[in-house]
Amino acid sequence: MANTMRIAILGETETETAAQVVDALTTAGARVVAEVAEADIVLSISTPLLTLKTAREAVDELAAGAVYVDASGATPATARALAEIFSHVLFADAAFATGESLALALSGSGAARAAELLEPFAAVEVISGQASARVVLRSMFDNAMAAVLVDTLWAAESLGQANWMHNEILHEFDTNTASAAQSLLADTSVNFKRRQIDMQDVVELLSESGYESTMLAPIQFTHGRIMHSKKIPYAKG
């Protein structure tokens, strides 16, 4: 056990993400320790409001050669503040993905050292830029998807079609694939004018039901950007 990588988890240790990370690491042979000073890796899974507070409390406790890894999904301003706090020690910004196995992207001054320590326990990628941007982008996608689902169900409810629409949504998620997502990108890039017309039909329908959509305006704004030559990444892939 002397050479086992030791990791301390700070922040929201009771969350599903933390539980998955701890389970993946310990299953692979890492050892969780209670004290920051005992750890080779100090992993912070904190809320944005507590990210800097957690960092300031831990920085002076780090052992020599240890790496502080922040996986809170920091904004650019917070990331800069973290880099300043850890300017004299090893620091890495991280984005985790949990599934059948643990994977993470790392950036920052301590990314290479963190990767060296974590590679026996997880799939590790050292990237340029800000790794936590991936956490924020994933949050954007998840929240946007949820908002569209909610808005659609509210619209369906206003038309007496909530039960049917709910079943349609579940069926769509059951049957969709990666190629279906790629097709949506490609079709939107080519047929945005038809999609604009489709949305006008939705506007007319909902005006009769009295429901004020929360998502129609952003969708129409997106179509407008495409119309004015804003390219969709990977739409032709």
Domain endpoint, select from 109, 130, 151:
130
Q: Burial, 139: exposed, middle or buried (Cβ in 10 Å; 0-12, 13-18, 19+)? A: exposed
Is residue 154 in a domain? yes
Domain end position, chosen among 85, 105, 130: 130
Q: Is residue 236 part of a domain?
A: no
Residue with tokens 């539980």: 19
Percent of the chain with pLDDT strictly greater than 70? 96
What are the tens digits of pLDDT across the range 200-210? 999 999 999 99
Write the pLDDT tens digit of every residue in 158-188: 999 999 999 999 999 999 999 999 999 999 9
Could you report the per-residue pLDDT of 33-57, keeping only the tens digit for each?
999 999 999 999 888 788 999 999 9
Distance of alpha carbon 117 from alpha carbon 46, whole angstroms: 21
Nearest to 104 by CA among 113, 59, 114: 114
pLDDT at 91: 95
Residue 25 structure tokens: 């690491």
**DSSP secondary-structure letter at 35?**
-
- What proportion of the chain, given as a percentage, has pLDDT over 90? 66
Token readout for 3 is 């050479």
Which domain does 185 fall in, by range?
136-227
Side chain identity at 36, as an amino acid letter? Answer: V
Does residue 178 share a domain with residue 123? no
pLDDT in tens, 16-31: 777 778 888 888 888 9
Q: What pLDDT was estimated at residue 24?
A: 82
Residues 121 and 163 in one domain: no
Please give the pLDDT value at position 16.
Answer: 73
Question: 172 and 81 share a domain?
Answer: no
pLDDT of 131 higher than 70: yes
Nearest to 166 by CA among 155, 180, 179: 155
Asked whether residue 151 is assigned to any structural domain, the reply reads: yes
User: Is 121:43 a contact under the CB 8 Å cutoff?
Assistant: no
